Homo-oligomer: A and B are copies of this chain.
């Protein structure tokens, strides 16, 4: 697949690198540092990253969503896999929650695109660890949700490519639960004493 990265920071830089190692054609864009973009690999403007992309990873701070969508231009029919959490400016809390979610608001901002919420629920620090263990029998889970089954299949494939076991959590509105879950993960990863390399797994126990 061809994957455009909108936001080449901690999450976007690492996930794009992982997608490239998994064999995808990746175009990075939208970093504070052109130097960083050069180091990451093939790069361009947000518009160039989105053009001809089979999937677009949105990984910008919430305060940048409007700007990057504006720069990206026409997103009609595009699959947007978003890990952008609707955090306030000082990253202490959600600005959208309970009665809506960042993912649902994003879908309103880009109504012609097909939004899947994924990859937000794990710290960037664990991504390479999980990818390197991708041939292990037991993989960490990664929840995703969305309203369009075709784009959810693409997201599930990317989740598998990154070494996780995709767990379909249902429609996009379930992001109202997965986004606070991400803050629980962040609490355990950054406020506990076991370090940020945290993954999670759902297990259905048989009789």
Contact = CB atoms under 8 A, between A and B. Distances in A.
Given A98-B94, A169-B187, A129 B177 contact: no
A80 interface: no
B191 A198 contact: no
> Chain A contact residues (Cβ within 8 angstroms of B): what range?
35 or more
Given A184-B143, A184-B177, A170 B191 contact: yes
Interface string A169-207: 110001011111101100110011011011111111111
Contacts of A184: 143, 169, 174, 177-178, 181
Nearest to A199: B203
6 contacts: A140-B203, A143-B188, A169-B187, A177-B187, A181-B181, A195-B204
Contact of A177 (B126, B130, B167, B181): B181
Contacts of A94: 98
Contacts of A198: 202-205
Given A94-B98, A169-B184, A191-B170, A200 B203 contact: yes
B187 A176 contact: no
Q: Indicate how many identical chains form the complex.
A: 2
A72 interface: no
Contact of A197 (B133, B192, B201, B204): B204
A182 to B, nearest CB: 8
A197 B170 CA distance: 18
A170 B194 contact: no
A168 interface: yes
A191 to B, nearest CB: 6
A69 interface: no
Contacts of A183: 176-177
A97 interface: yes
A129 B205 contact: yes
A198 B205 CA distance: 6
